[in-house]
Chains A and B, each alone.
Chain A
Amino acid sequence: MAKLLEIFNRVRALLSVDTQADRLVPPTGFTVLLTSFTSGAMAFLAVFTIALSLATGRVADRWASELSQSSTIRISAPAEELDLQTEAVLSVLKTSSGVASARVLGEEEQRLLLEPWFGPELPLDSLPIPRLIEVVENQDGFDPEGLRLRLSAEAPGAFLDDHTRWRKPLVSAANSLRLLGWTALVLIGMSMAAMITLAARAALAANSQVIQVTRLVGARDTYIASAFVRRFTIRALRGSFLGVMVALVVVSLLPEPAEGDTFLTGLSFRGWTWLYPLLIPIFCAVVAFLATRRSAMARLNEVT
């Protein structure tokens, strides 16, 4: 606790406003642009990476949940038995635990399903098309093996397809996509930290005369470091905040995805996830704070 308090006091001392000390660091020049622009640009990119990560996460969730909660029962039977077997299947489903709802797909829905392969003029009546029943599971889910056994007893032409065969690779792909999103976020975070660190070091190197002169007139190391840390932290904070704001405006201007669009058109934030990007300036400021302090102290150690 005492250690935490000490750290807090040191951080507070480093960030406390001292207009006289702040004047030591040149308020203009390329170093200002370097730190602010780097922070802004990286923050801008980070917003899009977060949006991408969230979008891939949403797609992964959707794939996983939609596929895992829906199944299909196909009934292939002679025409005179088709209605009877359908009734039997629906009756079995009504009494099966784990089934939230079940409905028979209408002719129009079946026509739409087959349209990509057979065209719009498909005469469903004249073809031995199996009847399809969409089954939606509740959260507990049903026991597919038990259901299959019951169906085989009540409706021999019914076949349960719980999508296991093709759901697995899709869920796996969705998880890979999610992982890709988070990896991109981690990489952009590391790049952002590296870029801000490099910018802070370059800016400090350009201001080495300030360090030398102030040290020679009797300034303590912490005093000199504080002046740089404050300035650079504020520059990084401002730059990244501006970058985030611009990125949020751009994201908000992106078109809303239509039903069935891919995730690439759905890079927007949803609900409270709009607050996520606001963490970026804080992250940038913390990185700038640590990088500047470390660089300043290292530079000071080279000066007597």
Chain B
Amino acid sequence: MLELENVAYSYGGDDLLTDVNLRLAPGSFHFLTGPSGAGKSTILKLCYMELQPSRGSIRVFDHDIHALTRDEIALSRRRIGVVHQDCQFLDHLTVEENIVLPLVVARRSVEAQSGNLEDLLNWVGLNHVRQSRPPQLSGGERQRMALARAVIMAPDLILADEPTGNVDWEMSERLLTLLIELNKMGKSVILATHDLNLIRNAKSRVSARVLRIANKELQFAGAELS
């Protein structure tokens, strides 16, 4: 599904990541952790094809991203749900319209998904603000909205960058539960977070691997959390 082989990424002449290797199987759940600025967001952006690696190769759904055309990248992204730390939305659209945006651009019927949308809005606790505009929402609400937008297409892979960063414990639990439920439905998840309690909490409910970025490399860190 997703394969990073000897991937390096440099910015402004500095190596941010060196020799990253990762193979993601369908239905797997990975936590990505590490200190701030270690490169968690960079790895997720590499996986989402927002950044091109300086070295190495990345294969997404069995396609080398170097060989993909822009249209093919767009089509691949429809199979990936992404939650960025700096969530961006279309401010002139309502919360509901922003959430269904991936369906709209993929020319899929929004009406056919209305039941799912209703459930999703209830699950992320945004039903009461569904007609509001993004600038009217709090940071936590924006993150929940980003998560809802990421999963509305029922993607095969979900990349979430600190999705619980601005929400309270209860909402954090709900969002984690949503991701675990999606994982149980066969979706792969990579969740970047520095919240070790969240990881410990999840490990009792899902078979997850924990990856840690240290010294610009990706390491398995499961044992340290148990």
A interface residues with partner B (beta carbon < 8 Å): 20-21, 23-24, 26-28, 209-210, 212-221, 223, 300, 304
Residues of B contacting A20 in the complex (Cβ-Cβ under 8 angstroms): 104, 107, 110
Residues of B contacting A214 in the complex (Cβ-Cβ under 8 angstroms): 90, 101, 105
Choose among B50, B106, B107 the residue that contacts A216 (Cβ–Cβ < 8 A). B50
B104-A304 in contact (CB<8A): no
Task: Using known A-B contacts A214-B105, A217-B105, determine if residue A23 contacts B74 with beta carbons closer than 8 Å.
Answer: no
Q: Judge whether B149 is part of the interface by a CB distance below 8 angstroms.
A: yes
Q: What are 10 A-B pairs with beta-carbon distances under 8 A?
A: A26-B91, A28-B92, A212-B88, A213-B90, A214-B90, A216-B77, A218-B78, A219-B74, A221-B70, A304-B51
A218-B102 in contact (CB<8A): yes
Q: Judge whether B71 is part of the interface by a CB distance below 8 angstroms.
A: yes
Closest A residue to B101 by beta carbon equals A217
Task: Using known A-B contacts A209-B90, A304-B51, determine if residue A218 contacts B97 with beta carbons closer than 8 Å.
Answer: no
Instruction: Write out, one digit per residue, whether chain B residues 45-78 have a CB within 8 A of any chain A CB (1) or not (0).
Output: 0001111100000000000000000110111011
Among A217, A219, A300: residue with most chain B CB under 10 A = A217
A221-B102 in contact (CB<8A): no
Residues of A contacting B75 in the complex (Cβ-Cβ under 8 angstroms): 218, 220
Q: Write the nearest CB–CB distance from B153 to chain A, whole angstroms.
A: 8
Among B71, B104, B107, B149: residue with most chain A CB under 10 A = B104
Task: Using known A-B contacts A21-B104, A209-B88, A212-B88, determine if residue A220 contacts B74 with beta carbons closer than 8 Å.
Answer: yes
Residues of B contacting A28 in the complex (Cβ-Cβ under 8 angstroms): 92
Among B74, B75, B107: residue with most chain A CB under 10 A = B74
Q: Judge whether B82 is part of the interface by a CB distance below 8 angstroms.
A: yes
CA–CA, A216 to B48, complex, Å?
9
B105-A218 in contact (CB<8A): yes
CA–CA, A209 to B101, complex, Å?
14
Residues of A contacting B25 in the complex (Cβ-Cβ under 8 angstroms): none
Choose among A21, A212, A213, A221 the residue that contacts B71 (Cβ–Cβ < 8 A). A221
Q: Range of interface residues on chain B?
A: 20 to 34
CA–CA, A215 to B102, complex, Å?
10
Q: Judge whether B89 is part of the interface by a CB distance below 8 angstroms.
A: yes
Q: Judge whether B206 is part of the interface by a CB distance below 8 angstroms.
A: no
Closest B residue to A210 by beta carbon equals B90
Q: Judge whether B137 is part of the interface by a CB distance below 8 angstroms.
A: no
CA–CA, A221 to B74, complex, Å?
8
A217-B92 in contact (CB<8A): no
A219-B105 in contact (CB<8A): yes
Q: Judge whether B185 is part of the interface by a CB distance below 8 angstroms.
A: no
B93-A23 in contact (CB<8A): yes
Closest A residue to B82 by beta carbon equals A216
Instruction: Write out, one digit per residue, whether chain B residues 78-98 have a CB within 8 A of any chain A CB (1) or not (0).
Output: 100010000011111100010
B102-A24 in contact (CB<8A): no
Q: Write the nearest CB–CB distance from A17 to chain B, whole angstroms.
A: 14
Residues of A contacting B110 in the complex (Cβ-Cβ under 8 angstroms): 20
Instruction: Write out, one digit per residue, whether chain B residues 98-138 have a CB within 8 A of any chain A CB (1) or not (0).
Output: 00011011110010000000000000000000000000000
Choose among B70, B73, B89 the residue that contacts A213 (Cβ–Cβ < 8 A). B89
Residues of B contacting A23 in the complex (Cβ-Cβ under 8 angstroms): 93, 97, 104
Residues of A contacting B104 in the complex (Cβ-Cβ under 8 angstroms): 20-21, 23-24
Residues of A contacting B49 in the complex (Cβ-Cβ under 8 angstroms): 304
B88-A213 in contact (CB<8A): yes
CA–CA, A215 to B73, complex, Å?
10
CA–CA, A302 to B88, complex, Å?
17
Among B74, B90, B105: residue with most chain A CB under 10 A = B105
Closest 9 CB pairs of A and B: A219-B105, A218-B78, A218-B77, A26-B92, A217-B102, A220-B74, A20-B104, A304-B50, A213-B88
Residues of B contacting A24 in the complex (Cβ-Cβ under 8 angstroms): 90, 104
CA–CA, A14 to B162, complex, Å?
38
Residues of B contacting A21 in the complex (Cβ-Cβ under 8 angstroms): 104-105
Q: Write the nearest CB–CB distance from B133 to chain A, whole angstroms.
A: 11
CA–CA, A20 to B110, complex, Å?
10
Residues of A contacting B70 in the complex (Cβ-Cβ under 8 angstroms): 220-221, 300
